[in-house]
Structure 1
Amino acid sequence: MDKVHSDKPTVLLIHGMWSDQNTLSDVKEAFVAQGYTADSLCLPYHVPKAEHTEASRAKLAKTRVQDYVAYIVEQVERLDAPPILVGHSMGALLAQLVAAQVPCDRLVLLSSAPPAGINGLSRSAIRTLGRNLLRFPLWKKVTEVGLSNVEYGIANAQSAAVQRDIYESCTYESGMATFQISIGSLLGRRSATYVNTQSIECPVLIVGGSADRITPITIQRSMAKRFGKQASLIEIENCCHWTVGGAYFPEVRVEIFQWLEAKANSQPHTG
């Protein structure tokens, strides 16, 4: 964890599918530059592909959304005060699930995966997930993305160089978690991805790109409606799913810190 002498809340960063803690390096650097203590978490079994073994892939394959949430809750409970949770994609969904269990100071949700009850299986999302949805039984497999998946649905508004960098840093993902998020979006309260927004007391910032193909802006708008006045929605024109780096991150960064400053000046921290 990068620590600075500050009275600002600690920031915990939560990466998304096929990623690890290094995915959010630009986001972490931005928070540290603003005087925050920031820690980029690495979800269980999210190591580079080259470091995986048959045994570790088997463990990852069966890892549930609930297991990810339990891990993050444990990290939150080790802190002296409620943190700011910043999540990208699946990580943004996990941040909501965590905040429904333990107090948080703020939530910053970047290109969030859909919670249960919000349909995330658009044609473009299905195309981005590609062959992963054909793996059977999906809940016992690992999933992964190819360069074409990245180019089409994850970083479609980024340069070819950024697209390749993203692809080369991708790792495996839990088939069980992929299944829960993909199918869970069609279910209700019984799903592991159901977010009880009434249990989340802190302010919420939702950031989405108008050109996002795997978690379209319609998902972010639906989430904002669920939170009501508790949430602020920022739509980044022409931005894709990759709101954590690349061409549009400077705009995303400005929006994040303007919102945090405004909220810090308008109301007390949640404790």
Structure 2
Amino acid sequence: MSSTTPDAARARDLAQVERANASGRVPVVFVHGLWLLPTSWDRWAAVFEEAGYTAVTPGWPDDPETVEEAREHPEVFAGKSVGQVADHFCGLVRSLDRAPVVVGHSFGGLVAQIIAGRELSRASVAIDPAPFRGVLPLPLSSLRAARPVLGNPANYHRAVPLTYAQFRYSFANAVGEEEARALYAAHAVPAPGEPLFQAAVANLNPWTEVKVDTEAAGRGPLLVVSGERDHTVPFALAHAAYKRQLRNRHAVTEFAEIPGRGHSLTIDHGWREVADTALAFVRRFADPS
């Protein structure tokens, strides 16, 4: 079994919450998506810390510490649903003394919107967010990116790794071959299949966990960010989520498209442009002090 036990993973996350509470500064909670670990946010955390915020980079339940450990013990990722993950992060957010900013990527972007819809965050940034119930487009590139999981119904209860070719298409299509291989080596880990199956049928299931209260009065300001060349969450999906969020009459909703960028936009050579876009939005609505 993995050397990172559930208790150790929880203790790691709670230590970050305690640090944030002790700092007295506005916390920024970063939520990663499928096939990545919290370490994918390390450079972002440094930027936001320098700007005066306290970065909190918790994992999904049972996340290992390192990519190497994750690859050696893929079983720890299996059986994680959207509802379980969202409740996990909401519990951590409620442990913070101050309402945080929440920044999420991919399924983390979905979780960020769920947290906002539960009125727990002061501002949110959803980067290439996975779709929720009510987001209707079905782009062919998204279906192809999800095929490694959805192509086998048995993957519902499994943890599924991506081959390099699959990672190249779904994450790293907008970078060169050398960088794509480096990103795969540095970041790619297995991921639970269940969230993708849940998202695939969300519009057919009135009781789905893949839902967002887009009209909550206390949702707070929200920025949706889209990578122009993203295969996994292309413009059509990100912009449809933005249009659903525009129905909120109580808070600012904005959209930004980052030219020439794919799904790896938070971890590849252009990460700083995306981080600065998010930070500029956050600064407008959440003074770090």
Give yes or no for TM over 0.5: yes
Deviations 1:83-138 (A, max 9, x none): 00010000010111122224211101111111122146421112222332222223
Structure 1 residues 241, 50: CA separation in 2 closer, same or farther (over 3 Å shift)? closer
- Give 1:138's aligned amino acid: N
**Mean alpha-carbon deviation: is it higher for 113-122 or for 98-107?**
113-122
TM-score (structure 2 length as normaliser)? 0.82
Q: Check conservation: 2:32, 2:59, Cα contact below 8 A.
A: yes
Distance in structure 1 (CA, Å) of the matches to 2:80 and 2:197: 11
1:221 equivalent to 2:243? Answer no
- 3-state SS of paired residue (1:125): helix
Q: CA RMSD in A?
A: 2.6
Q: Which of 244, 266, 277 is matched with 1:255 structurally?
A: 277
Q: Superposition pairs for residues 24-63 of structure 1, below 5 Å?
A: 24-47=41-64, 48=66, 50-51=68-69, 57=75, 60-63=77-80
1:167 alignment partner in structure 2:
184
Contact 2:94–2:120 under 8 Å retained in 1: no
Q: Secondary structure at the match of 2:283?
A: helix
Cross-structure match for 1:231: 253
| SS of equivalent residue, structure 2 residue 223 | strand
Residue 175 of structure 1, CA deviation: 1.6
Which runs of no fewer than 5 residues in structure 1 stay unpaired? none
Q: Deviation of residue 5 (structure 1)?
A: 8.8
Q: Is the contact between residue 62 and residue 141 of structure 1 (CA under 8 Å) also seen in structure 2?
A: yes
Question: Does the aligned pair in 2 maintain the 1:61–1:140 contact within 8 Å?
Answer: yes
Deviation at 1:213, TM superposition (A): 0.7
CA distance in 1, matches of 2:209, 2:93: 20
Aligned counterpart for 2:33 among listed residues 10, 13, 16: 16
**Matched-pair identity in %:** 23
Distance 1:56 1:213, change over 3 A: closer
Separation in structure 1 between the aligned mates of residue 21 and residue 84 of structure 2, nearest angstrom: 30
Q: What's the offset of the Cα at 1:11?
A: 0.6
The gaps in structure 2 that reach 5 residues or longer are 1-15
Match for 2:283: what amino acid? Answer: E
Q: Does 1:207 align with 2:220?
A: no
Deviations 1:23-77 (A, max 9, x none): 11222121112111001111013325653599971x6322211110111011101
SS in 1 for 2:178: helix
